[in-house]
Homo-oligomer: A and B are copies of this chain.
């Protein structure tokens, strides 16, 4: 094979989410033809990340430390615990600048079709955390998908039985969203969960 290396690279690129055979081919040729420096950086970044990155022992997120910076920060309010599905979702919450409590990253969601149940998510660890005496409110910020909703429902049942306060982030019309372009399910929910205006 004169192109074993290229074929191996194309095949290897397919481990990236959302990358099929066509994109992988295009990416491989791009790297080899137009951006060898970028390819070298990417190769090194992957090797380094594989060595350095692990899970925070408190919140599960990906970090290079035993306990991540957010969990270790004295500026965070330890009475609030926000539950998200992934580290990406945690970053989205952080970008709002509206939350100053701590996090618990599920690293997944309950999804029976994918063989993911409460056990795989190690929800007993979340239960232990939520009942450690410091947490007063658990804010569920899982996605508003079927799986995210099922996960939120399961966690609510689990925590309520232990007397922990549980809330769920609101759902409705996106800020800046026009009714014309919002799907009717969202609009129906926004109507159902309408709130009284002050004043």
Residues of A within 8 A of B (CB): 2-6, 8-9, 11-13, 15-18, 23, 25-33, 35-36, 38-53, 62-65, 68-69, 86-88, 91, 107
Contact = CB atoms under 8 A, between A and B. Distances in A.
8 contacts: A2-B68, A3-B69, A18-B23, A25-B88, A28-B49, A29-B86, A43-B43, A43-B50
What are the nearest 10 A-B pairs in CB distance?
A15-B38, A12-B45, A43-B46, A5-B52, A12-B42, A9-B45, A9-B49, A2-B69, A5-B49, A17-B30
A51 B32 CA distance: 10
A58 to B, nearest CB: 13
Contacts of A63: 2-3, 6
A11 B48 CA distance: 13
A53 B32 contact: yes
Chain A: interface secondary structure? helix
Contact of A33 (B5, B15, B30, B107): B107
Contacts of A13: 16, 42, 45
A29 to B, nearest CB: 5
B64 A5 contact: yes
Nearest to A30: B17
A17 B53 CA distance: 25
Contacts of A49: 5-6, 8-9, 28, 31-32, 39
Contacts of A18: 23, 26-27
